[in-house]
């Protein structure tokens, strides 16, 4: 999730990687030039989610597909409360709500938007291992985080907060994953023939293992 947050793919064509190294850099995508855009985790690290969704919508060809997964607002909520950051503006980041993302897609004239959420629980044996994982996920990138370097006292406070999340001999951190996909609108001539209103299935084609029989 850290070193390749998102990629944009044109069928049988070039692949444009958008990674941490590209943060703050304009992508200058040609309007209506991409058939499919897939994003894994990028939206959770951005301040202007609507701006990114707008750029994606404008870059898709008519009928093009947008698919993404991002962290939802329930992610690390218990840790934020344990650190006294109920508003999640100082120590633990807040994340976009799936309903807000869905409304944004509708506002951008994307068709047949589908949003869903799944909650997973991460468990750790020690607060140190949990802290290491949180750092690997990106740490604290909030604009409102405390200025300067944090010392041993703050580290001890974070470890104590993590320890308070221990349940049944394991530290438990809940993460909300938000999934969504939508299609770029078709031209009006296609809308009149029912092209836009027709639901387009998303078909996955897994690779067949080399030792698997095609008749199974």
Tell me the pLDDT tens digit for each residue of 98-114: 999 999 999 999 999 99
Give φ, ψ of 174 to 5 degrees.
Answer: -95, 135
In a domain, 85, yes or no: yes
In a domain, 199, yes or no: no
In a domain, 87, yes or no: yes
* The two structure tokens encoding residue 26: 């304009």
Residues of the chain with confidence (pLDDT) below 50: 1-11, 13-15, 17, 20-21, 24-26, 196-197, 199, 202-216
At 192 the pLDDT is 55
In a domain, 198, yes or no: no
Give φ, ψ of 132 to 5 degrees.
Answer: -60, -40
Q: Which of 76, 61, 39, 101 is nearest to 173 (CA)?
A: 76
At 183 the pLDDT is 95
At 7 the pLDDT is 42
Give percent above pLDDT 90 in the chain: 31
At 135 the pLDDT is 81
Q: For helices 49-59 and 98-107, give the axis angle rounded to 10 degrees.
A: 40
CA 187 to chain centroid: 29
In a domain, 215, yes or no: no
Across the chain, mean pLDDT equals: 75
Q: How many structural domains does the chain have?
A: 1
At 22 the pLDDT is 52
* The two structure tokens encoding residue 29: 């995508």
pLDDT tens for 203-216 read: 444 443 333 333 33
At 143 the pLDDT is 60
Q: What is the pTM of this model?
A: 0.70
At 126 the pLDDT is 95
Find the domain containing 40 and state its range.
6-192
Looking at the DSSP bridge assignments, the partners of residue 70 are 178
Cβ atoms of residues 187 and 62 within 8 Å: yes
CATH number reported for the structural domain that contains residue 115 in this entry? 3.40.50.150
At 1 the pLDDT is 23
* The two structure tokens encoding residue 42: 């990028």
* Alpha-carbon span 112 to 196, nearest angstrom: 9
Task: To the nearest 10°, report the CA torsion of 135, 136, 142, 148.
Answer: 40
* Alpha-carbon span 115 to 196, nearest angstrom: 18
Cβ atoms of residues 172 and 166 within 8 Å: yes
Cβ atoms of residues 36 and 65 within 8 Å: yes
At 162 the pLDDT is 92
């Amino acid at each position: 999730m850290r070193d390749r947050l998102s990629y944009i793919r044109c069928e049988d064509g070039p692949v444009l990687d958008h990674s941490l190294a590209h943060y703050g850099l304009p992508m200058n995508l040609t309007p209506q030039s991409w058939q499919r855009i897939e994003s894994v985790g990028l939206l959770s690290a951005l301040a202007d989610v609507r701006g990114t969704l707008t750029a994606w919508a404008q870059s898709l060809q008519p009928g093009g597909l947008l698919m993404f997964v991002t962290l939802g607002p329930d992610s690390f909520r218990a840790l934020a409360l344990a650190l006294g950051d109920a508003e999640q503006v100082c120590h633990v980041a807040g994340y976009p709500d799936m309903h807000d993302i869905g409304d944004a897609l509708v506002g951008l004239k994307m068709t047949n938007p589908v949003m869903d959420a799944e909650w997973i629980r991460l468990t750790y044996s020690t607060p140190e291992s949990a802290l290491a994982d949180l750092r690997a996920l990106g740490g604290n990138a909030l604009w409102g985080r405390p200025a300067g370097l944090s010392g041993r006292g703050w580290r001890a406070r974070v470890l104590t907060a993590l320890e308070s999340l221990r349940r049944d001999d394991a530290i438990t951190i809940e993460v909300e994953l938000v999934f969504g996909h939508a299609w770029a609108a078709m031209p009006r001539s296609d809308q009149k023939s029912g092209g836009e209103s027709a639901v387009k299935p998303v078909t996955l084609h897994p690779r067949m293992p080399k030792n698997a029989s095609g008749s199974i």
